[in-house]
Amino acid sequence: MIHKKKNIVYVAALLYVLVTGHSFLFTKIALEGGGPIDILAHRFVAAFLGLVIAMAFGWVTVSFKKNEVLRILPLAIFYPLSFFGFQTVGLMYATSAEAGIITAAAPIFTLVFASIFLKEKSTALQSGSIIVSVIGVVYVGVMKGATLDTNNILGIVLLALSALSLAGYNVLARSLTKSFTNIELTAVMITISFLTYNLIAVIYHISHGTIAAYVAPLKSGSYLLSIIYLGVLSSLMTSILSNYMLSKLPASRAGTFLNLVTVVTILAGVFILKEEIHTYHLIGVVLIVSGVIGANYFKPKKSDEVVNRG
């Protein structure tokens, strides 16, 4: 039974990686019809509606007191609010390749934060494996021509804050999953993001006299499809999966799966966009995958995995 539960965690991790890895394709499609602010607002409308529908049909249940929302609020501020906010604005001043390199540092930040705030222990081989997976991501980015251009310093700083926000979420969620279920955490995260991003979008359009532009992109079928994917799958579903992973695995180990997104992105580019695959892609994939496997294999003898409320 224990092994079965562990397998479920890794299945959840792989689903998280697969969905997140394909989100870049749908983001590109969405950007053809709308701006970053509208995409953020619309994706969380879709995520919120997905949550409401799931609750209405009894697929998920949320049962906590209203005053407990305040305990979860900081989690929502870290992710999705700060993570997507810093990332979206940062991409206005830096390239997506630079974003990939900087975001790859999130597992290292998570390892440091988890050791400080959660007192999580890690072996030298485990820490080394995490660094290897990060090197794999950075290597692919550099070989594709990405450099951390100092002219894009504002974008780099914002993207670094985005990576720190993700690390903060990993650590805080790990702690909160001992008191709340995955669905309860996700419900607050999605609701806060829905309200905040749509308020920002509406205020922006009203101040610029372009309120009609808020709904205009939704008339496009391809845009609407991409928003449904980004909202229901890449926001709602991944939040549930991520919270579940963090309820079962130490934050430092769960955080390493993020780097597998680069592997999925490479494979999606090859098989869906018919992009060429090069030797550096294969080297990067080997480094990333071996690093993630090592981080989860070379764990301390006494695992501190826990079982949360649900």
User: Does any domain span residue 306?
Assistant: no
Tell me what percent of the residues of the chain surpass a pLDDT of 70.
94
pLDDT at 304 over 80: no
Q: Cα(185)–Cα(39) distance, rounded to whole angstroms?
A: 23
- Using alpha carbons, list the distances in angstroms from residue 300 to 8, 12, 119, 175, 271: 21, 22, 13, 19, 38
Q: What is the mean pLDDT of residues 236-243?
A: 95
Q: How many domains does the chain have?
A: 1
Look at residue 62 in the predicted model and tell me its pLDDT: 86
Note whether residue 49 is domain-resident. Answer: yes
Q: Answer whether residue 309 is part of any domain.
A: no
142-187 pLDDT, tens digit each: 887 766 777 778 888 999 999 999 999 999 999 999 999 999 999 9
Residue 303, domain member (yes or no):
no
Residues 269 and 140: beta-carbon distance below 8 Å:
no
Domain that holds residue 222: 2-297
* pLDDT for the residue numbered 23: 85
Whether 305 is covered by a domain: the verdict is: no
**Range in 109-118, 187-196, 257-266 the model is least confident about:** 257-266
Examine residue 280 and state whether it is found in any structural domain, yes or no: yes
Q: What pLDDT score was predicted for residue 271? A: 81
| pLDDT score for 307 | 47
| Close Cβ partners of 55 (under 8 Å, ≥ 6 residues apart) | 61, 62, 187
Within-domain flag for 308 = no
* 310 lies in some domain: no
Tens-place pLDDT, residues 72-126: 999 999 999 999 889 888 877 877 777 888 888 899 999 999 999 999 988 999 9
